[in-house]
Chain A
Amino acid sequence: MKILAFDTSTQQCSVALLCGNEIKDISLDAPNQHAELLLPLIHRLLHEAGLSLTQLNAIGFSRGPGSFTGLRIAASLAQGLACAHDIPVAAISTLQMMAQATHLTQHAERIAVAMDARMQQIYWGTFAGTGIMLPTCPEQVLSPNEVILAGKDWTAVGTAWQVYSDSLLFLQPQLAHIDTKSLPQARNLIPLAQYQIEQKLTVSAENALPIYLRDKVC
């Protein structure tokens, strides 16, 4: 299977390529440079693997939540790369990518992801599973004190657990572990894109669109 994946939802610019069983990836800390970096990085990975776009089974991108401009850069790139060759697109949740990463490295099976959404709000999603982390509730943008979490032994992931640690303190008894450092990485998109291919959940280029969660912007 061959999948190209990229994430520009945070200040990181991250690109990954699955070719056979091997994932090659590059992640750079690059605030405001995503548009400049993406195509050269993609070109490099494809070139090193001796692949052309038309050989890809799918293109995966993180559809949000995250930086609005970053999400649109990834979505318009996915649209432009996929449309002419009808390459299927896997639009992947940023929160799910982070849950998947934690699942792979820490074998956690219940993961609560909270990313700082600014304006005293967080992007919130909970995931569970073995192998593939699937959502257990709809993702939402809300105030930290509006969070509702049922059950115990959750692994907490995302920057918001640190930024809003005071407001989220009430959830402490339900948490087994907290990881506030991790950011979305394109390589974690790949197993989720594979899952979408298997489940026939990929979309056409037209539907490679961001999901902002925050829809009230003025």
Chain B
Amino acid sequence: MRVLGIETSCDETAVAVYDSQHGLMSHQLYTQLPVHQQYGGVVPELASRDHIRKILPLTRQALKQAHSAWSDIDGIAYTAGPGLAGALLVGAVFARALGFSLNRPTLGVHHLEGHLLAPFLESTPPVPPFVALLVSGGHTQLFYVSAIGHYRLLGESLDDAAGEAFDKVAKMLGLGYPGGAALAALAEQGKPGFFTFPRPLIHRPDLNFSFSGLKTAVLQAWKKSGQTDQDKANIAYAFQEAVIDTLLIKTEKALMQMHSTRLVVAGGVGANTLLRTRLSACLEKMQGQVFYPRLEFCTDNAAMIAYAGWHYLKEGKQDADLAIRVKARWELQNG
């Protein structure tokens, strides 16, 4: 079965082809970053306007890269939520109309399920049950995955997502938008011992996170500092340490609670080198295994949507009727 995947939930337009026999055959991505950069955040109306210009050219490229004709597509998966309603609609309507015209089944996929399943595109995929840490600009969540399709939320951020905290602190330190990756790079120039920031909620037994207080602490430290380049790097270092320590402590706690030694890491912050190093060391110590998506599939992409959709479409699951629906808000939790 060959599935076309379509992702338009935020500021990336992406299309991919996944096949039962050949695996991932193509993936195309257009990032709108330069459009939104000048506004210091994603402008929903501009995002939607860009999606509709790019969706069909990218689909044609993805088919070409997969050496596939329209008629070779057996099913179509698209992100139905959560995300920006207007942006989601472009991908959903296009996907549903295409499915209607080709007389092929379609399926709306949960964007976060896509992220959680992204490591399944790698050569050594994880085997459920496992604990999953989903950490991005929009989410910081710990799940227990007993099987594909069965997700139990163990804990989540009560305020800012970890990636959001990275971007906000980067903005405060004048590293532009989105500056999370720049902040992580700057942290490598930083030295330990000059600043210490709190590890929020680590002494609580639950698995929730809170990162909004951290950015206030960083702002105060920055104001009181000499504001030299080295101060900036030292603050970046201490901030990254605090976030990653917190993620590590809670993840370890989740693994112990669930008696699991398998961890899946997904989402944009999952590309952070220090996070990967620390989590890998932690799981090694537990004689467990940790699974990451390749770096390019940490952030939004359609390969994960094609894969997640394929998983259900091959079992005969599909959109129930011809009504097109998207869900800007949509919890991922079903046991």
- Chain B residues lying within 8 Å of A82, measured Cβ to Cβ, are 101
Taking the closest CB of chain A, its distance from the CB of B116, in whole angstroms, is: 26
Q: Which of A200-214 contact B (CB under 8 A)?
A: 205-206, 209-210, 212
Q: Are A217 and B46 in contact (CB under 8 A)?
A: yes
A112 in contact (CB, < 8 A): no
A43 to chain B, nearest CB (A): 6
Check A36/B324 contact, CB under 8 A, given A217-B43, A218-B46. Answer: yes
Chain B stretch 87-116: residues in CB contact (< 8 A) with chain A: 89-102
Question: A40 contacts B101, CB within 8 Å?
Answer: no
Contact yes or no, A68 B96, CB < 8 A: no
Against B, the Cβ 8 Å flags (1 = close, 0 = not) of A32-53 are 0001111110110000000001
Known: A68-B86, A73-B89. A39 touches B102 (CB 8 A): no
Q: Report the nearest B residue to A214, measured CB to CB.
A: B45
In the assembly, what is the distance between CA of A76 and CA of B196, in Å? Answer: 51
Select which of B53, B97, B326 is within 8 A of A77 by beta carbon: B97
A76 and B325 form a contact (CB under 8 A): no
- List chain B residues, Cβ under 8 A from A72: 48-49, 52, 86, 89-90, 93
Residues of A within 8 A of B323 (CB): 35-37, 39-40
A72-B86, A79-B55, A80-B100 given; A36·B325 CB < 8 A: yes
On chain B, the number of residues with a Cβ less than 8 Å from chain A's Cβ atoms is 36
Given contacts A43-B100, A79-B56, A209-B53, contact A35 B45 (CB under 8 A): no
Contacts between chains A and B (CB distance < 8 A), count: 103
Q: Are B98 and A84 in contact (CB under 8 A)?
A: yes
Q: Which residues of B contact A76 (CB under 8 A)?
A: 52, 55, 89-91, 93-94, 97
Instruction: Kindly list chain B residues whose C-beta atoms are within 8 Å of the C-beta of A210.
Output: 49, 52
Task: Determine whether the beta carbon of B324 is less than 8 Å from that of A68.
Answer: no
> Contacts A68-B45, A75-B52 hold; do A80 and B325 have CB atoms under 8 A apart?
no
Contacts of B49 in A (CB 8 A): 68, 72, 210, 212, 217
The B interface, classified by DSSP as helix, strand, loop or mixed, is: helix
Contact between chains at B56 and A206 (CB < 8 Å): yes
Q: How far is the CA of A42 from the CA of B101 in the complex (A)?
A: 11
Contacts of B86 in A (CB 8 A): 68-69, 72
Residue of A at shortest CB range from B45?
A: A217
Q: Any chain A CB within 8 A of the CB of B59?
A: yes
A55 CB, min distance to chain B CBs, angstroms: 12
Is B315 positioned at the interface, with any CB of A under 8 Å from its CB?
A: no
Residue of B nearest to A82 (CB): B101
Q: Which of B25-84 contact A (CB under 8 A)?
A: 39, 43, 45-46, 48-49, 52-53, 55-57, 59-60, 70
Taken together as a complex, chains A and B put the C-alpha atoms of A69 and B101 apart, in Å, by: 22
Is A107's beta carbon under 8 Å from chain B?
no
Q: Shortest beta-carbon distance, B44 to chain A, in Å?
A: 9
Q: A81 contacts the other chain (Cβ, under 8 Å)? A: yes
The answer to the question of B296 belonging to the interface, with a C-beta cut-off of 8 Å to chain A, is no
Q: Which residue of A lies closest to B96 (CB)?
A: A39
Complex interface: chain A residues within 8 A of B89 (CB): 35, 69, 72-73, 76
Cross-chain contact A39 with B100 (CB below 8 angstroms): yes
Given contacts A69-B86, A79-B55, A210-B52, contact A35 B92 (CB under 8 A): yes
14 contacts between A and B (CB under 8 A): A43-B100, A68-B45, A69-B85, A76-B52, A76-B91, A79-B55, A80-B96, A80-B100, A80-B101, A83-B70, A205-B56, A206-B56, A209-B52, A217-B45
Q: B residues within 8 Å of A by Cβ? A: 39, 43, 45-46, 48-49, 52-53, 55-57, 59-60, 70, 85-86, 89-102, 321-326
Known: A43-B322, A79-B97. 8 other contacts (CB 8 A): A38-B324, A39-B322, A69-B48, A72-B49, A76-B55, A81-B97, A206-B57, A209-B53
